[in-house]
């Protein structure tokens, strides 16, 4: 059980366990601590269940065996858990009293993709284009909105701890403040900036940051400005840096594994990434992985089993070689004192794997045609719902009629569409614009 810690050399303080709505007195038989309760609230949320039918990299039309947004989130959480266990066991900064909390980081990793709309990043871009004049849309900001408003209680959402909300804020900036219209003109595309909060959720954002000192807040909210690009954030919390790395590892390994089995990536292309480590003395597991991978070919009898061993070795190598950087500035909050990172050669390997997935899978014609269709479906649904409120659910129709501005009405429509699974969005589109097979098919 976590004890509220007050001394500065401990990682978690009473403010980290605070919730916007004070929790009722704990039952004597409840052995769970604050972060374990957060974990339970996230796992049992409707938004978490919907991830099972949302696109990760390859849409559901390609089959039912590859990763979805749900299985990706579970694997990212497992990798994040592995990082925490490794750091607690082997890094001098995280001894028994200063240990990172496994439940906190695993729960935040499970929640990190809750805000993604149907059809992956193309769906995100389509919703942002629809919402351009109404506060915009971005998946990370919608995650924050789900956790603090849309799930659970109307005013408090899931009422999670401050530490968990800080752990999922990958880009601590309000979306409106990150927008640079020059990027739209330069690229000709209405791509969303990276942000963790919508303007309508600014008050909750201020509460989350209120435990920091003024100097810490300035550091946490620092940004980099560009003449022709959206403003970018510079910092995140320690826990968020762990989750970001775990997310990247899951994307660069598990999604590459799926891509090999589906024929998007050839084994030779994967071999080229690992070949430089074939004789490595420093990374023994990568050397052993190369010995397993090198003789494999696409029709190998035990390809799935052998490739899994290679992927496992990659993940293990990344986890066991993670390093911790101490912020040179003397901050009170441990959230801002440290961040994790990979050695340059392993970071380069991970970036190469991620780029391989991007080039050979995300940009593949088969994937892009489905993504384009998904973006078109979202735009058509948005237009229909904005023009005819009776197409909304009874609850959303009630909110729509109570709204006093177009921006509020658009956000209600956006929330509804972003919460759809891929299959539900397609069925809704088919019902409105195509041939619906049954009155009860949605």
User: Mind giving me the DSSP string for 216-258?
Assistant: HHHHHT-EE--SSS--EE----HHHHHHHHHHHHHHHHHHHHH
Looking at residue 1, what is its pLDDT? 30
Looking at residue 419, what is its pLDDT? 95
Looking at residue 7, what is its pLDDT? 34
DSSP three-state, residue 340: strand
User: Please, what is the end-to-end C-alpha distance for the chain in angstroms?
Assistant: 44
CB 143 within 8 A of CB 112: yes
Question: Phi, psi (5° rounding) for residue 7?
Answer: -75, 145
The span from the CA of 404 to the CA of 398, in Å, is: 12
Looking at residue 3, what is its pLDDT? 33
CB 216 within 8 A of CB 331: yes
Looking at residue 9, what is its pLDDT? 41
Looking at residue 2, what is its pLDDT? 35
CA angle 90, 94, 99 (to 5 degrees): 115
Q: How many residues does the chain have?
A: 442
Looking at residue 442, what is its pLDDT? 58
Looking at residue 251, what is its pLDDT? 92
Looking at residue 440, what is its pLDDT? 52
Looking at residue 157, what is its pLDDT? 95
The span from the CA of 326 to the CA of 399, in Å, is: 47
Residue given tokens 């993670």 in the structure block = 322
Query: Which token pair is 100?
Result: 């990172």
Residue-level pLDDT, tens digit, the chain, 442 residues: 333 333 334 688 889 999 999 877 666 667 788 999 999 999 999 999 999 887 665 555 555 556 788 999 999 999 999 999 999 999 998 987 789 999 999 999 999 999 999 998 999 999 999 999 999 999 999 999 999 999 998 889 999 999 999 999 999 999 999 999 999 999 899 999 999 999 999 999 999 999 999 999 999 999 999 999 999 999 999 999 999 999 999 999 998 998 898 889 999 999 999 999 999 999 999 999 999 999 988 776 788 889 999 999 999 999 999 999 988 777 888 889 899 999 999 999 999 999 999 999 889 898 889 889 999 999 999 999 999 999 999 999 999 999 999 999 999 999 999 999 999 999 999 999 986 555 556 5
The span from the CA of 120 to the CA of 296, in Å, is: 32
Looking at residue 58, what is its pLDDT? 59
């Amino acid at each position: 059980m976590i004890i509220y810690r007050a001394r500065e050399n401990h990682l978690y303080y009473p403010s980290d366990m605070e919730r916007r709505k004070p929790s009722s007195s704990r039952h004597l038989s409840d052995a769970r601590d604050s972060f374990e309760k957060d974990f339970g609230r996230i796992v049992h949320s409707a938004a978490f269940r919907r991830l099972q039918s949302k696109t990760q990299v390859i849409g559901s039309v390609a089959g039912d065996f590859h990763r979805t947004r749900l299985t990706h989130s579970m694997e990212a959480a497992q990798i994040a858990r592995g990082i925490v266990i490794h750091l607690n066991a082997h890094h001098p900064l995280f001894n028994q009293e200063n240990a990172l909390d496994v439940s906190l980081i695993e729960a935040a990793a499970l929640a990190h993709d809750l805000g993604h709309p149907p059809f992956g990043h193309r769906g995100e871009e389509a919703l942002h284009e629809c919402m351009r004049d109404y506060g915009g849309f971005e998946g990370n900001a919608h995650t924050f909105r789900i956790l603090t408003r849309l799930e659970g209680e109307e005013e408090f959402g899931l009422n999670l701890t401050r530490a968990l909300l800080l752990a999922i804020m990958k880009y601590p900036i309000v979306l409106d403040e990150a927008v640079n219209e020059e990027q739209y003109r330069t690229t000709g595309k209405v791509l969303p900036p990276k942000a963790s909060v919508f303007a309508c959720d600014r008050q909750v954002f201020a509460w989350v940051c209120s435990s920091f000192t003024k100097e810490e807040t300035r550091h946490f909210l620092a940004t980099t400005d560009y003449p022709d690009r959206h403003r970018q954030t510079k910092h995140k919390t320690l826990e968020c840096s762990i989750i970001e790395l775990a997310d990247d590892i899951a994307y660069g390994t598990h999604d590459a594994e799926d891509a090999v089995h589906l024929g998007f990536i050839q084994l030779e292309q994967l071999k080229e990434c690992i070949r430089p480590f074939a004789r490595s003395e420093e990374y023994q597991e990568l050397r052993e992985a190369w010995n397993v991978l090198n003789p494999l070919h696409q029709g190998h009898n035990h390809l799935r089993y052998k490739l899994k061993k290679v992927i496992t070795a990659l993940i293990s190598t990344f986890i066991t070689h993670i390093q911790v950087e101490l912020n040179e500035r003397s901050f009170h909050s441990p959230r801002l004192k440290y961040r994790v990172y990979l050695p340059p050669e392993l970071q380069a390997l991970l970036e190469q794997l991620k780029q391989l997935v991007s080039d050979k899978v995300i940009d593949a014609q088969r994937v892009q045609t489905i993504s384009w269709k998904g973006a078109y479906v979202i735009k058509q649904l948005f237009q229909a719902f904005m023009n005819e409120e009776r197409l909304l659910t009874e609850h959303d129709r009630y909110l729509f009629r109570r709204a006093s501005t177009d921006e509020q009405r658009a956000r209600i429509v956006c929330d509804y569409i972003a919460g759809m699974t891929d299959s539900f969005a397609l069925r809704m589109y088919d019902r409105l614009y195509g041939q619906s097979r049954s009155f009860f098919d949605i």
